[in-house]
Amino acid sequence: MKAIRVHTPGGPEALSLDTIDVPVAGPGQALVKLHNSGVNFIDIYFRTGLYKADPPFSIGMEGAGVVEAVGDGVTEVAKGDRVAYAMARGSYAEFAVVPAWQLVKIPAGVDFPTAAAAMLQGMTAHYLTHSTWPLRMGETCLVHAAAGGTGQLIVQMAKMLGAHVIGTCGTAIKAETARQAGADDVIVYTEQDFAAEVKRITNGKGVDVVYDSVGASTFEKSLDSLRPRGLMVSFGNASGPVPPVSPLTLNAKGSLFLTRPTLAHHASTRDELLWRASDVLGWIAAGKLKLQIEQTYPLADAAQAQVDLASRKTSGKLLLDTAASA
């Protein structure tokens, strides 16, 4: 089969299209014939070596396809089931072996590209808005990269919960995308000081919570955007990792709280996984949650997909078509 692997961490050229044996499902595992794989920043973090893995290693954390075979003891899925998953590395490939407990059956009316696009970003948006800071009616949140794949989903879920949403984007075109997703106010950060704008919009109060996937370039002003005892949620490194922070900084800026969460710790059991994935896929099937898939690339063009994602010039989700890779 064809699979993208990394032999030496580095730039986009480190992604190698290899021909390897189809893996075999062991106990508690399922072999999935993949139709689509999601392209995410976590894939770039592994490729560059920011997140560690022993080379040569497979890449890609999210996929959708059909169960081809199951190993001993598997009860969660059966051969022929349409399934999707996230947080099991190796989805940039024609086949992947996945722990069966991580597989979620795709509801009727949801196709493979949509399911692949929904899992990692959708469940991330879910835990951020429902667990990390469970938004309540009347609260205000700041969402960076509000026109991106995760950003649009955070905006929509925050509005479902009754929050006031302030989004940031890099261009006027992206600002319109964020508004269409439901953002109440949108700041073009390349033209405006977003911290000053947040204080203006909130009449000097600041927001209850900041959801920041950008990282180094937005971190300091994100802290300045919070109300006293607000929560800074740093969940991505699109502009680079955040430097070390002194606890005294949090004190000086208003007894702030800071967290750096990850999906793996918020979908670590079958019950929690099903809660998040069922909500996300169910809302999509019911038309309550809208996904924007911007582009789908052949598997061989995985490097270009990552370049485009890292450029931060895209809106919505990028996918790989793994079924057509042969």
pLDDT at residue number 29: 98
35: nearest Cα among 111, 102, 108, 144 = 111
pLDDT at residue number 326: 44
CATH assignment of 2-120+266-321, given 3.90.470.20, 1.20.20.10, 3.90.180.10, 3.10.129.10? Answer: 3.90.180.10
Q: CA–CA separation, 57 vs 55, rounded Å?
A: 5
Q: CA–CA separation, 187 vs 304, rounded Å?
A: 29
pLDDT at residue number 314: 77
Write down how long the chain is.
Answer: 326
173, 138 contact by CB (below 8 A): no
Which DSSP helix (H) or strand (E) runs through 212? strand 207-212
- Number of C-beta neighbours around residue 162 at 10 A: 11
Tokens describing residue 137: 């009616």
326, 2 contact by CB (below 8 A): yes
pLDDT at residue number 166: 98
Task: Give every residue of the chain whose pLDDT is below 70, as ranges.
Answer: 324-326
What are the residue ranges of CATH 3.40.50.720 in the chain?
136-260
The label of the residue with tokens 């450029």 reads 311
Tokens describing residue 12: 């986009």
Give, in words, the CATH class of 136-260.
alpha beta
316: nearest Cα among 109, 91, 118 = 118
171: nearest Cα among 193, 153, 147 = 147
